[in-house]
Amino acid sequence: MLLQDIIHQNFAETIETQQNAALSLAEPIEQAAQCLLDTFLAGQKLLICGNGGSAADAQHFASELVNRFEHERPGLPAVALTTDSSILTAIANDHAYDQVFARQVRVLGQAGDVLVAISTSGHSANVLEAIKAARERELRVVALTGRDGGALAPLLCARDIEIRAPTGRTARAQEIHLVVIHILCDLIDRQLLGIR
Ligand SMILES: O=C(CO)[C@@H](O)[C@H](O)[C@H](O)[C@H](O)COP(=O)(O)O
Ligand SMILES: [Zn+2]
């Protein structure tokens, strides 16, 4: 196949996936925005985790909440659990890599906080362990997933929210996740600032 064909094929797949997501994800995104807004209005916080590109998404989301998205407003409390190399390496070295987020959830999480768990496959062991820790500490979970939800989806309970990108490709799921993160920021800003 010509390189230009591959380029066009990637764009076409992205557009189709985004169109499918617009149809299937409006409801869980609305629920998640309300959940996050209620959490902030109650004075509680978000903890956000994921691996690789999803670690970047966790940091991206936290920065838009703590600092700002498109409008000036008071900062909103959100912590990416992916950023402190001393904490991450100590937990991985002394315990296990699958505990790097769970231990932070147990230490930093308080009942009523929300864990945002990001995994395109739903099979990252450290994200699954973080969800189990969230359950113990009575945090709600907003999960950004893909494929069939993997081993993550069955861990969720009725109070949790799954936003599942309708694709089997990690790259396409990550692209959906970033759009979802920006929509959540937009909805939160509009509600907080009374923008229509
Ligand atoms: O960004 C990419 C691929 O686009 C990779 O870094 C990817 O995030 C990593 O392979 C992750 O370990 C995948 O984890 P997950 O989404 O399956 O939980
Ligand atoms: Zn990537």
In this predicted complex, what is the ipTM?
0.98
pTM score, whole prediction: 0.98
Ligand 2 centroid to residue 27 C-alpha, Å: 26
Ligand 1 centroid to residue 170 C-alpha, Å: 7
The domains of the chain are located at 3-193
**Ligand 1 in contact with 126 (CB < 6 A)?**
no
Name the pLDDT band for 1 (thresholds 50, 70, 90). Answer: confident
**Ligand 1 in contact with 167 (CB < 6 A)?**
no
Q: Which ligand 1 atom sits closest to the C-alpha of 174?
A: 4
Ligand 2 centroid to residue 174 C-alpha, Å: 7
Binding-site residue ranges for Zn(2+): 60, 64, 174, 182
Q: Which ligand 1 atom sits closest to the C-alpha of 120?
A: 16
The closest residue, in CA terms, to atom 7 on ligand 1 is: 52
The per-residue DSSP string of 27-95 comes to HHHHHHHHHHHHHHHTT--EEEE-STHHHHHHHHHHHHHHT-SSS------EEETT--HHHHHHHHHHT
How large a percentage of the chain has pLDDT more than 90?
99
Residues making up the chain, counted from first to last: 196
Give 143's strand partners: 117, 162
How large a percentage of the chain has pLDDT more than 70?
100
**Ligand 1 in contact with 120 (CB < 6 A)?**
yes
Instruction: Please tell me the predicted confidence (pLDDT) of residue 85.
Output: 98
Domain spanning 3-193: which CATH class is it, in words? alpha beta
**Ligand of minimum distance to the alpha carbon of 169:** 1
Instruction: Please tell me the predicted confidence (pLDDT) of residue 183.
Output: 98
Name the pLDDT band for 196 (thresholds 50, 70, 90). Answer: confident
**Ligand 1 in contact with 174 (CB < 6 A)?**
yes
pLDDT digits over 16-64, tens only?
999 999 999 999 999 999 999 999 999 999 999 999 999 999 999 999 9
Mean pLDDT confidence for 63-87: 98
pLDDT digits over 86-131, tens only?
999 999 999 999 999 999 999 999 999 999 999 999 999 999 999 9
Mean pLDDT confidence for 181-189: 98
CA distances from residue 31 to 35, 97, 126 in whole angstroms, order as listed: 6, 32, 25
